Chains A and B, each alone.
Chain A
Amino acid sequence: MAKYDYVPSPFMANSIVKWVDHRLPIFSLIDHELIKYPAPRNLNYLWNFGSLAGIMLVVMILSGIFLAMNYNPSTAGAFDSVERIMRDVNYGWLIRYIHMNGASMFFIVVYIHILRGLYYGSYKYPREILWWLGIVIFIAMMATAFMGYVLPWGQMSFWGATVITNLFSAFPIVGEHIVLWLWGGFSVDNPTLNRFFALHYLLPFVIAGVVLLHLWALHVHGSNNPLGIDAKGPQDKIPFHPYYTAKDAFGLAVFLIFYAYFVFFSPYSLGHPDNWIEANPLVTPAHIVPEWYFLPFYAVLRAVPDKLGGVLLMFGAIVILFLLPWLDTSRVRSARFRPVYRVFFWLFVICCLVLGYAGSQPAEGLPLILGQVATIWYFAHFLVFLPLLGWFERPLPLPASIAEPVLGGGKSGTVAASKPMEKA
């Protein structure tokens, strides 16, 4: 990271602050990492989504704790206790709709955050561990949301849990044992609901811990930026506060408008109507579908007729993200300077949307074929296109520094695209 002259904030001169800071440097931490933290001057609004994700985690934890105060994790009482929250608890409907739609908002934010990383090559050296930690958060989020969806004990809760836990039976020898162990019995039942509740309560705090590691890794080298080049000097960076606090605050307000629209005016459009029917192990819904944010993975799961194959592919679709920093062989980070990758990036986005559509339909006919084609494309993107692009693509010339395109001057020459990433 470029050298940046740290000038302490005025409050650091306060004698109480000094007293505390000498013993526990918490004010220094805040001043260094939140206030004076140097950020590239050219971050666009796509860089808002990290802080939005963090805020969503806090919203989920707070609304969740208030739900938990009124929730009854038993097969006999869960559905009614959630209805009691909706009808009788003061503003219970509001808390629940914040939590229920919050899960969707969280995924929208995180998906944009991940796509931002893909577009600007934020996973490349020296941010590989930062990227891994992000995927760990994503996986933990999926587990949390899956178990949360089981808690209201509606028809989709029950049947979704049955379908997904049954997947583990595909593994040879240990499969059946894993499933029994997950269920705590011979079917999805009271013990399953109890442990899902315990884990649903626990995992968000695990996520919060991984988020801290994610931020720690981020602050070692600082944010990537739309140009994907390293900061060269103080003119490339600005302090986080007030510049990015102001920008993040505005972004947050716009996001809240979007979120509030769903909470107040369309609170159940993102969910499945069947989940307003109490779970009934004797009546299978016509068409079992997971929440929208799982649909692409659901399509991958069903793309092959073999159960174990589908399960491995589905897990593979996530695990492959860990290898991305090495599968992408290009030295240039930002898609702005990668004309061919840019097209493939958008094709990949389309591929994910097609997978989402395929996942929402019964696995037959055209949707099944679309899902299969998109599954092949998904893996080909990582395993074939990205490695090859690095060799064949001719990147555009990179600007000399972050400041150069806006301030002009300096060396107006270009840095050779193949110049190795420098470690500053």
Chain B
Amino acid sequence: MRTAKLLIASVLAFGLGIAAASAAETPKVPTQKWAHTGFFGTFDRAELQRGYQVYKEVCAACHAMHQIRFRNLAGIGLSEAEIAALAKEYEVTDGPNDEGEMFQRPARPADRFKSPFPNQQAARAANGGAYPPDLSLIAKNRVGGENYIYALLTGYKETPPAGVTVMEGMHYNEWFPGHQIGMAPPLSADRVTYADGTKATLEQHAHDVSVFLAWASSPHLEARNSLGLKVMLFLFILAGLLYATKRKVWRNIKH
């Protein structure tokens, strides 16, 4: 048994060593402070609404959010009237009508966010061949999630480190895999004017839009946390009672 334990320990130590070595090659993005992480996490509505404003005024020029419908914005704290008014700002194609024609109409709350480009090819053509990915699930489909988005948005360097040449149309970013990204720095101080008077620093923009994108990826996070806590409480009590039951049932059985 001793030998076995020693062996396990040495293999584990070896494994951890390898993990540490490979981590050194691709630095892990720094973890930011978020209101929505942890067992009791909830989204900050003000951050969400500012984040939506950043998406709408900046990112939406290039990035679609196909999975999100206007009515979903109730989740960031907008009222029905606000949502209906917002949707009306966009024209969408509908039809065919009774004459067989497609027609334009103002968007309704049930419509999806309008995509900036009709298809991938058009999106690439407008962005020097790089494809701006759909952002509906970006916080789930990038390692590091919202921490990565924040790092990416604040990680541009105007002058790349010595010895690195950035290709034509590319930009140096500390956190993008390979460091050369086809997205020009989308944010800078005062890029948007926040309605609530929050000072619009680069970091503030990046933080708010990252929160908004985290919400878009997991809109049920708050419901999940709160149900999860209740389920856990129930299960711990149940396990305690079942343990007591088991002890009682087995009290006369030597085993």
Residue pair B142, A273 in contact (C-beta under 8 Å): yes
Q: When chains A and B are docked, how far (Å) is the Cα of A2 from the Cα of B245?
A: 28
Chain A's nearest CB lies how many Å from the CB of B187? Answer: 23
Residues in B with CB closer than 8 Å to A246 are: 242, 245-246, 249-250
A406 touches B (CB below 8 Å): yes
Task: Tell me whether A273 and B141 are in contact (CB under 8 A).
Answer: yes
Q: Is the interface of A mostly helix, strand, loop or mixed?
A: helix
A231–B255 alpha-carbon span in the complex (Å): 14
> Which residue of A238, A249, A350, A354 is within 8 Å of B253 (Cβ)?
A238
- Residue B106 lies at the interface, judged by CB distance under 8 Å to chain A: no
| Chain B positions within 8 Å of A357 at CB level | 15, 18
CA distance A361 to B239 in the complex (A): 38
Q: Is the CB of B141 within 8 A of A277?
A: yes
Q: Which of B91-99, B164-172, B192-200, B221-229 contacts A (4 or more CB under 8 A)?
A: B221-229
B137 CB contact (under 8 Å) in A243, A247, A276: A276
Q: Which of chain A's residues 332-368 have a Cβ closer than 8 Å to chain B? A: 342-343, 346-347, 350, 353-354, 357, 361, 366-367
Is there a chain B Cβ closer than 8 Å to A390's Cβ?
no
Query: CA–CA, A342 to B4, complex, Å?
Result: 8
Q: Once bound together, how far apart are the Cα atoms of A250 and B243, in whole Å?
A: 6
A264 lies within 8 A of B224 (CB): yes
Which chain A positions have C-beta within 8 A of B7? 346-347, 350
Q: Which chain B residues (1-37) contact chain A, with CB distance < 8 Å? A: 1, 3-4, 7-8, 11, 15, 18, 22
Return chain A residues, CB-CB under 8 Å to B72.
87
Q: Which residues of A contact B217 (CB under 8 A)?
A: 276
Decide: B228 and A263 in contact? CB cutoff 8 A.
yes
**Cα A361 to Cα B254 with chains together (Å):** 48
Q: Mark A220-259, 1 if CB is under 8 A from B, else 0.
A: 0000000000000000001000110011011011101100
A250 in contact with B228 (CB, 8 Å): no
Residues of B within 8 A of A256 (CB): 235
What's the least CB distance linking B13 to chain A, in Å?
12
- Cα–Cα, bound, A389→B1 (Å): 17
Asked if residues A250 and B11 are in contact (CB atoms below 8 Å), the reply is: no
Contact-size category for A: 35 or more
User: A149 interface residue, CB < 8 Å from B?
Assistant: no
**In the bound complex, do residue A342 and residue B11 qualify as a contact, i.e. CB atoms below 8 Å apart?**
no
- Nearest chain A residue, comparing its CB with the CB of B245: A246
Size category, B interface: 35 or more
| Chain A residues whose CB sits within 8 angstroms of the CB of B243 once the complex forms | 250
Shortest beta-carbon distance, A422 to chain B, in Å? Answer: 23
Contact A350 B11 (CB under 8 A): yes
A277–B131 alpha-carbon span in the complex (Å): 13
Q: Least Cβ distance of A42 to chain B in Å?
A: 5
Q: Which residues B138-158 have CB closer than 8 A to chain A? A: 140-143
Pairwise interchain contact B224-A93, C-beta atoms closer than 8 A: yes
Complex CA gap A77/B249 in Å reads 53
A42 to B236, CA, bound (A): 26
User: Which residue in A250, A252, A268 is a CB contact (below 8 Å) of B245?
Assistant: A250
Q: How far is the CA of A281 from the CA of B205 in the complex (A)?
A: 35
Please, which residues of chain B bring their CB within 8 A of the CB of A276? 137, 140-141, 217
Asked whether, in the complex, the Cβ of B3 is within 8 Å of the Cβ of A343, the reply is yes
Please tell me if the beta carbons of A87 and B67 are within 8 angstroms of each other in the complex.
yes
Bound form: Cα–Cα A250–B39 in Å = 25
Q: A87-B67, A243-B249, A250-B242 are in contact. Are A267 and B3 (CB under 8 A)?
A: no
The interface residues of chain B lying within 8 Å CB-to-CB of A264 are: 224-225, 227-229, 231-232
Please name all residues of chain B whose beta carbon is closer than 8 Å to the beta carbon of A252 when the two chains form the complex.
242
Min CB gap B61→A, angstroms: 21
B219 within 8 A of A: yes
Cross-interface CB contact of A346 among B8, B177, B235, cutoff 8 Å: B8
In the assembled complex, the Cα of A243 lies from the Cα of B254 at a distance in Å of: 12
Docked pose: A353 CA to B11 CA in angstroms? 9
> Across the interface, which residues of B come within 8 angstroms of A263, CB to CB?
228
How far, in whole Å, are A93 and B142 apart by their CA atoms in the complex? 20
A-B contact pairs, 17 of them (CB 8 A): A41-B254, A80-B66, A87-B220, A94-B224, A246-B245, A246-B246, A246-B249, A249-B245, A250-B245, A253-B239, A256-B235, A257-B239, A268-B140, A276-B217, A354-B11, A367-B18, A407-B254
Task: Identify the B interface with A (CB < 8 A).
Answer: 1, 3-4, 7-8, 11, 15, 18, 22, 39, 66-67, 72, 133, 136-137, 140-143, 177, 217, 219-220, 223-225, 227-229, 231-232, 235-236, 238-239, 242-243, 245-246, 249-250, 253-255
